[in-house]
Amino acid sequence: MRPKDKSPTDWTVYRQDRTVHRTGSEEGQTQGGVAIMIKPGIDTKPLEKIQTPANSALETVGAGIRTPKGWIEIWNVYRPPARGGALDTRDAGLHTARWPHSENAIICGDVNAHGSWDPNMDAEEHGEELDDWMQSHGMLSLNDGSPTRYSSSGRGTAPDISIVSASRAHLFEWKVLETIGSDHMPIAITLKDGKSKDQIPTRMNVKKANWEEFQKKVREELESRNERPKSIEAEHAEFVQIIKKAAKASIPYSTRKSPKSWWTAECDEAKEGCRR
């Protein structure tokens, strides 16, 4: 994005133009950044920018949106592929310690990293950091293992990730769409109407599982692979995704009322204040 680029006049647009470039300075031509565009008729508000070090290459922008289920936070995050060296002294960290992790947060973006959500690539430093952060804060990737980017040679990988609270993951549908001309594929995330937020999935109800369907799905996925992953780690990540996909299609969830339906955002703030 460039400052002279105009935003749609009838849409609400939140944008963060790039300020830190490959030289590591804030000078030079401004190009790039992140944005969230919201169509007319939706109640929305800006969110405070995620605070990162002055020389951080990480770009973020957030928007609050009112839904029938209450307010949700949508975050667009981009970590440019900082290369290091004298010509690229930017801080390339993800700085996940500063990321939002509320139950209502939806974090989407190109992190230029690969972890458990991408069976097409070996996990690397930033991907492992993001996996650890999700596990520590009860967050979950919506990715289903599908590639979200295709290189010029046709190889598919998933540097783009969509993250939500594990307790709300069942309320979302995630799907990679057909290309619109970019090497990155568009992704549709749908918030389903579904059940009340006080009803949460507790566990898979294995007593009602269709094990024949489960075995069929696993077998089909294994037999449809065109090539084996290059490492044990990538093989494991792909197999886990196959098992999850087959289980989702053949094993129903049981639900119960949330034991913390009384817990509110104010409770989160009070709890956080006690830790300081």
Query: How high is the pLDDT of residue 196?
Result: 46
Query: How high is the pLDDT of residue 7?
Result: 60
Q: Which residues of 66-77 are buried (b: 16+ CB within 10 A; e: fewer)?
A: eeeeeebbbbbb
CA–CA distance, 228 with 192 (Å, rounded to integer): 35
Q: Please state at what angle helix 232-250 crosses helix 211-223, rounded to 10 degrees.
A: 140
Question: Which is nearest to 174 in space by CA: 157, 194, 196, 192?
Answer: 192
Q: Are 95 and 54 in contact (CB under 8 A)?
A: no
Please give the chain's pLDDT, 276 residues, in tens: 455 555 667 899 999 988 877 654 555 555 789 999 999 999 999 999 899 988 899 999 999 999 887 899 999 999 998 777 777 788 889 999 999 999 999 999 999 999 999 988 888 999 999 999 998 999 999 999 899 999 989 999 999 999 999 888 888 999 999 998 899 999 999 988 654 444 555 567 788 889 999 999 999 988 887 766 656 666 776 787 788 788 888 888 665 554 455 556 666 666 656 655
Query: How high is the pLDDT of residue 10?
Result: 87
Helices (H) and strands (E) in the chain, counts: 4, 14
Residue whose pair of structure tokens reads 């950044």 in the numeric block: 33
